[in-house]
Amino acid sequence: MKNLFQKAFISVLILTFAISLGATAQTEPGTFTAKKGIYLEVGGSSGIYAVNYSKIFHQKGKLKLSASAGFSMWRHEKLDSRTTWLPTVPLEMTAFYGKSNHHLEMGIGFTPYLGTSLDLVSETIGYRDIVVIDAFIPLRVGYRYQKPEGGFFFRLGYTPIIDFPPRTGGNWSFNPYWAGLSFGKSF
Protein backbone atom coordinates (compact mmCIF):
# COMPACT_ATOMS: atom_id res chain seq x y z
CA MET A 1 0.00 0.00 0.00
CA LYS A 2 2.75 2.43 0.97
CA ASN A 3 4.73 1.55 -2.18
CA LEU A 4 1.65 2.16 -4.37
CA PHE A 5 1.06 5.53 -2.71
CA GLN A 6 4.69 6.53 -3.21
CA LYS A 7 4.51 5.62 -6.92
CA ALA A 8 1.31 7.69 -7.33
CA PHE A 9 2.89 10.59 -5.45
CA ILE A 10 6.04 10.53 -7.60
CA SER A 11 3.89 10.36 -10.76
CA VAL A 12 1.88 13.45 -9.72
CA LEU A 13 5.10 15.28 -8.86
CA ILE A 14 6.70 14.47 -12.24
CA LEU A 15 3.51 15.50 -14.08
CA THR A 16 3.36 18.79 -12.17
CA PHE A 17 6.95 19.69 -13.01
CA ALA A 18 6.57 18.58 -16.64
CA ILE A 19 3.54 20.83 -17.09
CA SER A 20 5.30 23.76 -15.39
CA LEU A 21 8.37 23.39 -17.60
CA GLY A 22 6.12 23.58 -20.66
CA ALA A 23 4.70 26.84 -19.29
CA THR A 24 7.81 28.75 -20.33
CA ALA A 25 6.95 28.66 -24.03
CA GLN A 26 4.69 31.75 -24.10
CA THR A 27 5.55 35.02 -25.73
CA GLU A 28 4.10 37.98 -23.78
CA PRO A 29 2.91 38.55 -20.22
CA GLY A 30 -0.77 39.35 -19.77
CA THR A 31 -2.24 41.77 -17.27
CA PHE A 32 -4.97 40.00 -15.36
CA THR A 33 -8.31 41.76 -15.56
CA ALA A 34 -10.09 38.81 -13.89
CA LYS A 35 -8.65 39.08 -10.39
CA LYS A 36 -11.22 37.07 -8.44
CA GLY A 37 -12.02 33.39 -8.55
CA ILE A 38 -14.10 30.68 -6.97
CA TYR A 39 -12.99 27.07 -7.09
CA LEU A 40 -13.24 23.58 -5.62
CA GLU A 41 -10.06 22.09 -4.24
CA VAL A 42 -9.58 18.39 -3.54
CA GLY A 43 -6.62 17.63 -1.28
CA GLY A 44 -4.03 20.38 -1.25
CA SER A 45 -4.27 23.13 1.35
CA SER A 46 -7.84 22.14 2.15
CA GLY A 47 -6.79 18.76 3.55
CA ILE A 48 -9.76 16.85 2.11
CA TYR A 49 -11.86 19.27 0.05
CA ALA A 50 -13.04 22.89 0.21
CA VAL A 51 -14.84 25.57 -1.74
CA ASN A 52 -12.52 28.60 -1.99
CA TYR A 53 -12.59 32.26 -2.98
CA SER A 54 -9.36 33.88 -4.18
CA LYS A 55 -8.22 37.32 -5.24
CA ILE A 56 -5.11 38.52 -7.04
CA PHE A 57 -3.98 41.50 -4.99
CA HIS A 58 -0.70 42.32 -6.77
CA GLN A 59 0.67 41.85 -10.26
CA LYS A 60 3.79 43.13 -11.92
CA GLY A 61 4.93 41.67 -15.21
CA LYS A 62 4.86 37.90 -15.00
CA LEU A 63 4.48 37.79 -11.18
CA LYS A 64 1.04 37.67 -9.53
CA LEU A 65 0.26 37.39 -5.81
CA SER A 66 -2.99 35.87 -4.65
CA ALA A 67 -4.77 35.22 -1.35
CA SER A 68 -7.54 32.68 -0.84
CA ALA A 69 -9.92 31.53 1.87
CA GLY A 70 -12.17 28.51 1.83
CA PHE A 71 -14.67 26.51 3.80
CA SER A 72 -15.25 22.81 4.32
CA MET A 73 -16.97 20.45 6.74
CA TRP A 74 -15.08 17.34 7.90
CA ARG A 75 -16.75 14.22 9.20
CA HIS A 76 -15.80 12.91 12.66
CA GLU A 77 -16.97 9.72 14.39
CA LYS A 78 -17.73 9.95 18.11
CA LEU A 79 -17.35 7.26 20.77
CA ASP A 80 -21.06 6.47 20.65
CA SER A 81 -20.82 5.97 16.85
CA ARG A 82 -22.59 9.24 16.09
CA THR A 83 -21.23 11.36 13.27
CA THR A 84 -20.51 15.05 13.61
CA TRP A 85 -19.49 17.51 10.92
CA LEU A 86 -16.96 20.15 11.99
CA PRO A 87 -15.72 23.19 10.02
CA THR A 88 -12.36 23.75 8.36
CA VAL A 89 -11.10 27.08 6.98
CA PRO A 90 -8.12 26.79 4.59
CA LEU A 91 -6.21 30.07 4.09
CA GLU A 92 -3.44 30.42 1.51
CA MET A 93 -1.07 32.96 -0.05
CA THR A 94 0.40 32.06 -3.42
CA ALA A 95 2.71 33.62 -5.95
CA PHE A 96 2.39 32.50 -9.53
CA TYR A 97 4.82 33.30 -12.26
CA GLY A 98 4.36 33.00 -15.98
CA LYS A 99 3.15 34.56 -19.19
CA SER A 100 -0.41 34.51 -20.44
CA ASN A 101 -2.25 31.36 -19.28
CA HIS A 102 0.42 29.04 -17.82
CA HIS A 103 2.10 29.62 -14.46
CA LEU A 104 4.44 28.08 -11.93
CA GLU A 105 2.72 28.49 -8.55
CA MET A 106 4.30 28.50 -5.09
CA GLY A 107 2.65 29.23 -1.79
CA ILE A 108 2.07 28.63 1.88
CA GLY A 109 -1.11 28.30 3.86
CA PHE A 110 -2.62 27.90 7.28
CA THR A 111 -5.55 25.53 7.77
CA PRO A 112 -7.25 25.62 11.18
CA TYR A 113 -9.95 23.02 11.80
CA LEU A 114 -12.11 21.65 14.57
CA GLY A 115 -11.57 18.01 15.39
CA THR A 116 -12.50 15.60 18.13
CA SER A 117 -10.35 14.10 20.84
CA LEU A 118 -10.87 11.83 23.83
CA ASP A 119 -10.77 13.37 27.30
CA LEU A 120 -10.43 11.33 30.50
CA VAL A 121 -13.23 11.97 32.99
CA SER A 122 -11.73 11.32 36.43
CA GLU A 123 -15.07 10.96 38.25
CA THR A 124 -16.25 8.05 36.10
CA ILE A 125 -12.83 6.82 34.93
CA GLY A 126 -14.15 6.92 31.41
CA TYR A 127 -13.64 8.90 28.27
CA ARG A 128 -15.72 11.55 26.56
CA ASP A 129 -15.47 13.22 23.17
CA ILE A 130 -14.41 16.85 23.15
CA VAL A 131 -14.03 19.30 20.28
CA VAL A 132 -10.49 20.65 19.85
CA ILE A 133 -8.83 23.20 17.57
CA ASP A 134 -6.04 21.83 15.41
CA ALA A 135 -4.18 23.20 12.41
CA PHE A 136 -1.64 22.40 9.72
CA ILE A 137 0.57 24.40 7.36
CA PRO A 138 0.38 23.36 3.70
CA LEU A 139 3.16 24.29 1.27
CA ARG A 140 2.57 24.44 -2.49
CA VAL A 141 4.61 23.99 -5.68
CA GLY A 142 2.64 23.38 -8.82
CA TYR A 143 1.10 24.37 -12.10
CA ARG A 144 -1.72 26.91 -12.56
CA TYR A 145 -3.68 27.44 -15.76
CA GLN A 146 -5.59 30.74 -15.67
CA LYS A 147 -6.47 33.14 -18.47
CA PRO A 148 -5.89 36.86 -17.82
CA GLU A 149 -9.39 37.74 -19.04
CA GLY A 150 -11.10 35.13 -16.84
CA GLY A 151 -12.96 31.90 -17.33
CA PHE A 152 -12.04 28.34 -16.40
CA PHE A 153 -8.92 27.83 -14.31
CA PHE A 154 -7.11 24.76 -13.06
CA ARG A 155 -4.35 24.02 -10.54
CA LEU A 156 -2.33 20.91 -9.82
CA GLY A 157 0.21 20.98 -7.04
CA TYR A 158 2.51 19.13 -4.73
CA THR A 159 1.39 20.23 -1.27
CA PRO A 160 3.37 18.70 1.62
CA ILE A 161 1.88 19.38 5.04
CA ILE A 162 3.48 20.48 8.30
CA ASP A 163 1.16 19.32 11.08
CA PHE A 164 1.31 20.84 14.52
CA PRO A 165 -0.95 20.28 17.52
CA PRO A 166 -1.63 23.76 18.98
CA ARG A 167 -3.89 22.43 21.75
CA THR A 168 -1.60 19.80 23.23
CA GLY A 169 1.82 21.30 22.50
CA GLY A 170 2.84 17.91 21.10
CA ASN A 171 5.33 17.13 18.37
CA TRP A 172 5.25 18.70 14.95
CA SER A 173 5.25 16.32 12.00
CA PHE A 174 5.90 16.57 8.27
CA ASN A 175 3.84 14.70 5.66
CA PRO A 176 5.67 14.88 2.30
CA TYR A 177 3.04 12.77 0.47
CA TRP A 178 0.22 15.15 -0.38
CA ALA A 179 -1.07 16.77 -3.54
CA GLY A 180 -4.00 18.92 -4.56
CA LEU A 181 -6.25 19.50 -7.55
CA SER A 182 -8.35 22.65 -8.00
CA PHE A 183 -10.72 23.80 -10.70
CA GLY A 184 -13.06 26.72 -10.91
CA LYS A 185 -13.78 30.03 -12.58
CA SER A 186 -12.02 33.39 -12.48
CA PHE A 187 -13.87 36.63 -13.10
120-160 pLDDT tens trace: 677 777 777 777 788 899 999 999 999 999 999 999 999 99
CATH for 37: 2.40.160
**Which residues, at least 6 apart from 88, have a Cβ–Cβ distance to it below 8 Å?**
46, 47, 48, 50, 71, 72, 73, 74, 111, 112, 113, 114
- Give the pTM: 0.76
Domain count of the fold of the chain = 1
Residue 90 is assigned to a structural domain of this protein: yes
For 53-86, the pLDDT digits (tens) are 999 999 999 999 999 999 999 887 776 677 888 8
Residue 19 is assigned to a structural domain of this protein: yes
Residue 161 is assigned to a structural domain of this protein: yes
Domain extent, residue 136, equals 2-23+33-186
Residue 172 is assigned to a structural domain of this protein: yes
Residue 97 is assigned to a structural domain of this protein: yes
Residue 88 is assigned to a structural domain of this protein: yes
Residue 153, judged by CB atoms within 10 A of its CB (0-12, 13-18, 19+), counts as: buried
For 78-128, the pLDDT digits (tens) are 766 778 888 999 999 999 999 889 999 999 999 998 877 767 677 777 777
Residue 25: pLDDT band with limits 50, 70, 90 = very low
Long-range contacts of 150-154, Cβ-Cβ distance < 8 Å, separation of 24 or more: 150/33, 150/34, 150/185, 150/186, 150/187, 151/34, 151/185, 151/186, 152/183, 152/184, 152/185, 153/37, 153/39, 153/182, 153/183, 153/184, 153/185, 153/186, 154/182, 154/183
Residue 28 is assigned to a structural domain of this protein: no
Residue 180 is assigned to a structural domain of this protein: yes
